[in-house]
Amino acid sequence: MTQEDTAEFTLRLGSGEVPLSRRHRHRRVQASTVRRKPTRGDTLSIVTTGVTVAIVAAVCVLGGAVTHNPLRHLAGADTAPREVADWWPLLVYGPWMVASLSILRAALHQRRAPHSWCVVLLFSAFAIVLCIDQAPRTITSATVASLPTIATVACFHQLVRQITLTRPPRRGGVANRRAPTP
């Protein structure tokens, strides 16, 4: 191979040279990504998702505000100092919030998050049981005590569904599929 031939296979970067193999000479021409103008349906879908996020945030804040006092009363003066009792609901809603963020991240990456859903459901069940325990012993009171947590989980589930519908999986191979075992 002459020096002219090697010059053909060399890429000059700054002060150094990087030899290219023959297979890199025949690069596939990738289709240029042309951005299309968003349709009314695309715009409506994004607006709907934004409204859903706002409603879920409002329901979560309201649900947390309503259930905070019953959960705080559980860690009363006989259980913990007042400063600690004020933060006690965080033990219920902290894991719930972390698992919720994990679920949202998984939904954005078109992945499943079954363990995080288990954490959300478990700590939601804790919140429901603890709030019902603090409520008067009537069916109506138990329903009122459990409704904020149930509404929060239902709204959060619908938000995750909205995200997975607005970001459909990419065409091609399935990322999480395992090969069948013989």
11 three-state secondary structure: strand
Decide if 121 is inside a domain: yes
Phi, psi of 42 (to 5 degrees): -60, -45
Give pLDDT tens digits for 68-92: 888 888 877 677 777 777 888 888 8
132-136 long-range contacts (CB < 8 A, ≥24 apart) are: 133/74, 134/70, 134/71, 134/73, 134/74, 135/70
The rounded distance, in Å, linking the Cα atoms of 117 and 11 is 51
How is residue 149 written in tokens?
């947590």
Give the residue numbers spanning the domain of 140: 40-166
Beta strands in the chain (DSSP E): 10-13, 16-19
Decide if 7 is inside a domain: no
Give pLDDT tens digits for 94-105: 999 999 999 999
pLDDT at 73: 84
Q: pTM here?
A: 0.68
**Domain total in the chain:** 1
Decide if 28 is inside a domain: no
The rounded distance, in Å, linking the Cα atoms of 101 and 116 is 9
Decide if 12 is inside a domain: no
Vertex 133: Cα angle to 144 and 128 (nearest 5): 55
Give pLDDT tens digits for 137-159: 999 999 999 999 999 999 999 99
The rounded distance, in Å, linking the Cα atoms of 168 and 177 is 17
